Amino acid sequence: MIKGTKLKAAATAIVSAIVAAAPQLANACATCGLSEGDHASNAYKTSVLFMLMSPYVSFAAIGGVTYFVYRRSQRQERKSPTK
């Protein structure tokens, strides 16, 4: 039982070392195997930019709507007669 466990651990360590030493085998990067002008490379880079921009765009949209609603309520308070 112990011999089988040690053999499995050694095999796992060897396979892990081979995969870590050879990034081409592991396909660690989505664009490493592509040429610079490849359409897939440009699409991948563009999608990363969109994912990076999305939190800022969402925050700006929420802030803009909040500001618009606030300004609208202030304008209606000025128009309505006070008692």
Whether 58 has a pLDDT exceeding 70, the answer reads: yes
What's the average model confidence in pLDDT over 47-61? 96
Query: Is it the case that residue 65 has pLDDT exceeding 90?
Result: yes
pLDDT at site 48: 92
CB atoms within 10 A of CB 44: 14
| pLDDT at res. 24 | 58
Report whether pLDDT(2) > 80: no
CB 39 within 8 A of CB 45: no
What DSSP element (H or E) covers 72?
Answer: helix 39-79
Residues 6+ apart with CB under 8 A from 34: 40, 41
CB 45 within 8 A of CB 31: yes
Do 26 and 19 form a contact (C-beta atoms < 8 A)?
Answer: yes
pTM score, whole prediction: 0.51
